[in-house]
Amino acid sequence: MTRVPVTPEMLRWACERSGRGMADLAARVPQLPAWVRGEKKPTLKQLEKLAAATRTPFGYLFLREPPEERLPVPDFRTVWGASRTRPSPDLLDTLYAMQRRQDWLRECLLESDVEPLPFAGSARLTDDPASVGHEMRRVLGLDDGWAAGVSTWRDAVRELRRTIEQAGVMAVINGVVGNSTSRKLSVEEFRGFALADAYAPLIFVNGADAKSAQMFTLAHELAHIWLGTEGVSGFASLFPGGSEVEDWCNAAAAELLVPSEELAPRWHEVRRGPRPFETLARAFKVSPVVAARRALDLDLVDGDVFRNFYRRYVKRDRATGASSTGGDFYNNQNTRVGELFASHVLRAAMEGRIGFKEAYDLTGLRGGTFQKYARRLGVNLP
């Protein structure tokens, strides 16, 4: 039985990178502690098992020293000067998968001589974010009071995502890596990210988050597309001080979702009620924190009122927890893959421009699952 040389340093790095403790991993790979102590060496098959358990690319384990893994896009998750830890394998794998989708769709659109999206990268940090938020609303075709006419936050998220995709932006919402329910994405690590491009911009929202929070993340990442600035977001609060880019995108997103001209008259209707910010949140389908922050920005409440509410709400929200990532598998594909991207992949497969294996890899769906999802979109594959 052939055994392979792997340094204890690389084994420890793989364990740390996975975010799982040595004891937890040793339950799956019992020989691991002996390898780390240098008492034994693993076989190739044993090492493959460890790579799978730690979500580590197999070839990395043969390096002499750990590589420095960096996010492939700017990191805007710094809040009040506190930097984040190394990116998890789940975040990295999600980012790489979305970049592959974007690269493929960009090439597909360029081959079809499609014109670039006029709004992508059209804004500047020197622009008034409220004016840009108003323009975003116009491009999406969202009427005044549209959110109040939608019964639930889930329906509001679905409608906002639909209008974003109709404008030409891939909008993905997923709470796991691909379709792997054993690899849940962490809201504490990131809320979303944007991949800017003039032809195939993409925004990703962490679907493990609450629906009201997903609404704001969709709008925030869309503001990144308008600005032409890609990156990972993890806004822990709506207080200014994260970065100039994040503060700008927060302000544009807030105007998109809670327009100042709609908020002021509603505030006068609800301000004397028992829970005014929650009432506003239901009307605009945002979180109560977003509603409260907008009231503060428009001088409808003072800073003490906002800060006191914020502290109480965050404490209550943490106790409640995030929303479930379950549901019907094929309905989930509408948000995990999206009709905008899926329709191009299906058309390319039907026309023979790509093979079905590539179509499976691009969508994360296989065989009969891919066929059934295609039928859900009204496409009968041969």
Q: What is the mean pLDDT of residues 191-195?
A: 95
- The CA distances from residue 49 to 28, 45, 61, 287, in Å, are 9, 6, 12, 42
Strand 192-195 and strand 231-233: the pairing is: antiparallel
- On the question of pLDDT at 98 being above 70, the answer is yes
Name the nearest CA neighbour of 349 among 102, 97, 108, 171: 108
Give the DSSP letter of residue 117: P
The whole model's pTM is what? 0.87
- The CA distances from residue 166 to 84, 141, 145, 348, in Å, are 34, 10, 20, 20
Q: Which helix (H) or strand (E) holds 172?
A: strand 170-174
Question: Among residues of the chain, what percentage have pLDDT more than 90?
Answer: 50
Q: Residue 378: which region, alpha, beta or left (left: phi > 0; alpha: psi -120 to 50)?
A: left
Residue type for 165, please? Answer: E
| 128: its two tokens | 């008034």
Specify the higher pLDDT residue, 46 or 369.
Answer: 46
Tell me the C-alpha distance between 217 and 203, whole Å: 9
Q: Which helix (H) or strand (E) holds 248?
A: helix 244-257
Q: What is the pLDDT of residues 233-267, one digit of tens each?
A: 986 655 555 688 998 999 999 999 999 999 989 99
Q: What is the mean pLDDT of residues 368-382?
A: 78
- Torsions phi, psi for 180 (to 5 deg): -85, 100
Tell me the C-alpha distance between 285 and 126, whole Å: 29
CA angle, residues 326, 208, 93, in degrees to nearest 5: 100
Q: Residue 378 has what pLDDT? A: 76
Q: What is the pLDDT of residues 156-181, one digit of tens each?
A: 999 999 999 999 999 999 999 988 88
Which residue reads 């109480």 in tokens? 312
Q: What is the pLDDT of residues 324-347, one digit of tens each?
A: 455 667 677 778 888 899 889 988
**Stated length of the chain:** 382
Name the nearest CA neighbour of 129 among 219, 194, 208: 219
The DSSP annotation for 278-290 comes to HHHHHHHTS-HHH
Say if CB 293 and CB 280 are below 8 A apart: no
83 confidence band (pLDDT: 50, 70, 90): very low
- The CA distances from residue 20 to 24, 54, 206, in Å, are 6, 8, 21
Name the nearest CA neighbour of 116 among 103, 130, 104, 106: 106
Strand 202-206 and strand 170-174: the pairing is: parallel
Q: Which helix (H) or strand (E) holds 319?
A: helix 303-320
Q: Residue 181 has what pLDDT? A: 86
